[in-house]
């Protein structure tokens, strides 16, 4: 397989592979689009946007016949989506642990509606 002269990395070319793993096992690579969309609801926004982009690029690569590129991009989308979801859970947990022990001194509600806040013991 010949590479274009201007391509510094052969993995970035958009040429379909002659023999692929998909041809051996008969399955097409997954793009993890639903997982990437679900990760967009997590507060780790730069990572989940990149995961969604990789997922769409994986789908486009598969449509163009580049099975290896689709598999690689799909795997990247899955990893970034999982990192985004786990990071989002960690951020939400840390935020709720720092906010929830505090309550307003005037009405004892769990919100910060007063300037005076006391710690629940």
Token pair of 100 as six digits: 């929830």
The helix or strand, by DSSP H or E, that contains position 64, with its residue range, turns out to be: none
pLDDT one-digit tens code per residue, 4-21: 555 555 555 555 544 444
Given a contact cutoff of 8 angstroms between Cβ atoms, the answer to whether 58 and 67 are in contact is no
pLDDT one-digit tens code per residue, 55-94: 999 999 999 999 999 999 999 999 999 999 999 999 999 9
Which are the contacts of 81, defined by CB distance < 8 A and separation ≥ 6? 32, 35, 36, 38, 39, 48, 51, 55
Query: What is the number of alpha carbons within 13 Å of residue 117 lying toward its C-beta?
Result: 14
**Per-residue pLDDT at 26 exceeds 70:** no
Residue 4 buriedness (CB in 10 A; 0-12 / 13-18 / 19+): exposed
**Per-residue pLDDT at 47 exceeds 60:** yes
> Of the ranges 28-37, 80-89, 102-111, which one carries the lowest mean pLDDT score?
102-111
Share above pLDDT 70 across residues of the chain, in percent, rounded to a whole number: 60
Given a contact cutoff of 8 angstroms between Cβ atoms, the answer to whether 36 and 54 are in contact is yes
């Amino acid at each position: 397989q010949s590479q274009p002269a201007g391509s510094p990395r052969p993995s970035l070319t958009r040429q379909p592979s002659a023999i692929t793993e998909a041809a051996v096992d008969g399955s097409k690579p997954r793009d993890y689009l639903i997982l990437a969309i679900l990760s967009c609801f997590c507060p780790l926004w730069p990572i989940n946007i990149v995961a969604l982009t990789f997922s769409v690029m994986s789908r486009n690569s598969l449509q163009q016949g580049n099975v290896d590129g689709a598999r690689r991009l799909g795997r990247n989308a899955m990893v970034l989506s999982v990192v985004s979801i786990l990071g989002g859970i960690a951020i939400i947990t840390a935020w709720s642990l720092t906010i929830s022990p505090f309550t307003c001194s005037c009405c004892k509600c769990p919100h910060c509606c007063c300037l005076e806040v006391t710690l629940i013991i």
